[in-house]
Amino acid sequence: MIVVLKPTAQKNDVERLTKQIEKLGLRTSVVVGTDQTIIGLIGDTTIVDPKTIEVDEAVDHVMRVSEPYKLANRAFHPEDTIVDVAGVKIGGGHLGLIAGPCSVESKEQIIEVAKSVKQSGANILRGGAFKPRTSPYSFQGMGENALDLLLEAKKATGLPICTELMDAEYIPLFNEKVDLVQIGTRNMQNYSLLKKVGREVKKPVMLKRGLASTYEEWIMAAEYIMANGNPNVILCERGIRTFETYTRNTLDLQAIPVLKRITHLPIIIDPSHAGGKWWLVDPMAKASIAAGCDGLMIEVHNDPEKALSDGPQSLRPDKYDSLLKDVKKLADIFGKKYE
Note the residues at the interface with ligand PEP (CB under 6 A): 102, 128, 132, 184-185, 208, 238, 273
> CB of 114: closest distance to ligand PEP in angstroms?
16
Rounded distance between C-alpha atoms, residue 113 and residue 301, angstroms: 6
Nearer to Mn ion, 17 or 298 (CB): 298
- Distinct helix (H) and strand (E) counts, the chain: 11, 14
Q: Which of 102, 147, 265, 315 binds Mn ion (CB under 5 A)?
A: 102
Residue 64 burial (CB count, 10 A): 12
Binding region for Mn ion (CB under 5 A) out of 7-15, 142-150, 284-292, 310-318? 310-318
238, interface contact from Mn ion, ligand PEP, none, CB < 5-8 Å by kind: ligand PEP
Rounded distance between C-alpha atoms, residue 268 and residue 156, angstroms: 25
> CB of 297: closest distance to ligand PEP in angstroms?
7
Question: Are residues 26 and 42 in contact, defined by beta-carbon separation less than 8 angstroms?
Answer: yes
Indicate the residue type of 112: E
Nearer to Mn ion, 249 or 263 (CB): 249
Return the H-helix or E-strand segment holding 40: strand 37-42
16-75 residues near Mn ion, rule: CB under 5 A: none
264, interface contact from Mn ion, ligand PEP, none, CB < 5-8 Å by kind: none
Nearer to Mn ion, 102 or 298 (CB): 102
Q: Which of 310, 320, 323, 324 binds Mn ion (CB under 5 A)?
A: 310
Q: Is 300 in the site for Mn ion (CB under 5 A)?
A: no
* Dihedral pair phi/psi, residue 188, rounded to 5°: -60, -30
121, interface contact from ligand PEP, Mn ion, none, CB < 5-8 Å by kind: none
Sign of the torsion angle spanned by Cα atoms 186, 189, 192, 198:
positive
> CB of 248: closest distance to ligand PEP in angstroms?
9
Burial of 41 (0-12, 13-18, 19+ CB in 10 A): buried
For residue 299, the SS3 value is: strand
CA-atom Rg of the chain in angstroms: 21
Residues contacting 229, CB < 8 A, separation 6+: 198, 199
Nearer to Mn ion, 81 or 163 (CB): 163
Return the H-helix or E-strand segment holding 234: strand 233-237
Nearer to ligand PEP, 38 or 180 (CB): 180
Nearer to ligand PEP, 118 or 208 (CB): 208
User: Which residues of this chain interact with Mn ion, rule CB under 5 A?
Assistant: 102, 310
